[in-house]
């Protein structure tokens, strides 16, 4: 397997707060890997360090080009999280995608015919060719994600980097996006993405990196989605279930008290027997229900 990315002993601090500590990572050409970890774990920061958008406090990121390749260095493309995009910016789908093109030292500030064709080809590949002249604001969440994926693909990257590509959209749209990425990977694209969707990652993504400021573990889903590793990554009580050949991950429900679910209940004297800490019972379907009815 040809290596494409090596991360050596990488650390990052924002002001004096450590965000990432001594990260070592290796990706080979054709790999599909997902970084998982809780909010604030440093996932986006790690992607930005790899992309060269942030400077590390310590360590280095090395991009390695295959000796047969025509380019001197691997090309990276980034699909940011959809919620960091200004959707009101007055541009069409075609213009957004064109912005992602590889730029030679000199280029015209408008698309050439060849570039227009290239943009259209990528839009067709992602089945959004008919939206080329639409304003990006008028698109659905799933279409907006495809536009940003098209913008990344038009650069013909060697490594595609995506931040939470399946978040902020409904389940079906997220699944479609994932299948698109799996198809791209089948065609040879190397992919590194972050995700908060552990069950989707467990079912579909061949290599998982568990991050919480440092790399807790990495490997195939079966190897890393274990309760000890997930508890360490999420600093919580995680539950791993095996069902019908599927691996399911869930946060273990903690024992609720009435205080958790009832905001300062105003109760009459007849309810005096209810103490604020009356525990809730687990129902057979896993939902917490009050142990006593009011
Ligand atoms: N520009 C910034 N300045 C200061 N702190 C930041 C900045 N960006 C992120 N952070 C902090 O770095 C930590 C990691 O953030 P981030 O990489 O966005 O994590 P994740 O993507 O896993 O949620 C968080 O505590 C966040 O508050
Ligand atoms: Mg993030």
Tell me which H or E stretch contains 227: helix 227-234
Residue 112 gets which letter from DSSP? -
7 close to ligand 1 (CB < 6 Angstrom): no
**Which-ligand-closest: CA of 167?**
2
Q: For residue 150, which of 105, 180, 182, 172 has the smallest C-alpha distance?
A: 180
Pick the residue whose CA is nearest to atom 8 on ligand 1. Answer: 45
Q: Does ligand 1 lie within 6 Å of residue 39's CB atom?
A: yes
Residue 48 beta carbon below 6 angstroms from any ligand 1 atom? no
pTM of the model: 0.84
Cα 45 to averaged position of ligand 1 atoms, centre (Å): 6
CA-nearest of 96, 98, 77 to 87 is 96
Which residue, by CA, sits nearest to atom 4 of ligand 1? 14
- The ligand placed nearest to the CA atom of residue 234 is 1
Pairing of strands 3-14, 76-79: unpaired
| Bridge-based pairing state of the strands 207-212 and 214-219 | antiparallel
CATH superfamily, domain at 1-75+157-239? P-loop containing nucleotide triphosphate hydrolases (3.40.50.300)
Q: How far is Cα 183 from Cα 228, in angstroms, rounded to an integer?
A: 32
- Which ligand is nearest the CA of 43, by number? 1
- The answer to whether 25 and 215 have CB atoms below 8 angstroms apart is yes
Ligand 1 proximity of 221 Cβ (cutoff 6 Å): no
Residue 141 has pLDDT above 90, yes or no: no
Give the other-Cβ count within 10 Å of 267's Cβ: 12
Q: Which residue in this structure is represented by tokens 């698309």? A: 111
Closest alpha carbon to 88 in 146, 136, 131, 151: 136
What is the tens place of the pLDDT at every residue in 197-226?
999 999 999 999 999 999 999 999 999 999
pLDDT tens for each residue of 72-116: 788 999 999 877 777 788 889 999 999 888 776 666 667 788 888
Contacts of 4 (CB under 8 A, 6+ apart): 27, 28, 29, 31, 63, 64, 66, 74, 158, 159, 190
Residues of the chain with CATH 3.40.50.300: 1-75+157-239
Give per-residue pLDDT as tens, 146-200. 999 999 999 999 999 999 998 888 888 899 999 999 999 999 999 999 999 999 9
**Ligand 1 neighbour 100 (Cβ under 6 A):** no
Cβ–Cβ under 8 Å, residues 94 and 147: no
């Amino acid at each position: 397997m040809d290596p494409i990315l090596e991360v050596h002993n990488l650390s990052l601090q924002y002001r004096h707060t450590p965000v990432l500590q001594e990260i070592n990572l290796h990706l080979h050409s054709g790999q599909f890997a997902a970084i998982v970890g809780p909010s604030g774990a440093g996932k986006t920061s790690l992607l930005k360090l790899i992309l060269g958008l942030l400077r590390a406090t310590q360590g280095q990121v090395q991009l390695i080009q295959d000796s047969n390749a025509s380019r001197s260095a691997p090309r990276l493309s980034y699909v940011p999280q959809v919620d960091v995009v200004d959707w009101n910016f007055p541009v069409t789908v075609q213009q957004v995608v064109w912005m992602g093109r590889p730029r030679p030292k000199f280029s015209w500030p408008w698309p050439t015919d060849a570039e227009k064709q290239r943009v259209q080809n990528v839009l067709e590949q992602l089945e959004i060719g008919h939206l080329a002249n639409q304003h990006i604001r008028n698109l659905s969440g799933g279409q907006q994600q495809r536009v940003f994926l098209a913008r990344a693909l038009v650069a013909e990257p060697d490594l595609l980097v995506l931040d939470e590509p399946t978040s902020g959209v409904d389940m079906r749209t997220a699944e479609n996006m994932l299948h698109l990425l799996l198809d791209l990977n089948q065609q040879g694209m190397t992919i590194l993405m972050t995700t908060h969707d552990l069950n989707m990652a467990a079912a579909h993504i061949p290599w998982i990196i568990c991050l919480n400021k440092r790399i807790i573990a990495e490997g195939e889903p079966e190897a890393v989605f274990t309760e000890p590793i997930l508890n360490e990554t999420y600093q919580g009580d995680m539950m791993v279930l095996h069902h019908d050949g599927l691996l399911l991950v869930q946060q273990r429900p903690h024992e609720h008290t009435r205080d958790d679910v009832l905001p300062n209940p105003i109760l009459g004297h007849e309810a005096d027997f209810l103490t604020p800490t009356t525990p809730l019972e687990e129902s057979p379907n896993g939902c917490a229900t009050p142990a006593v009815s009011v």
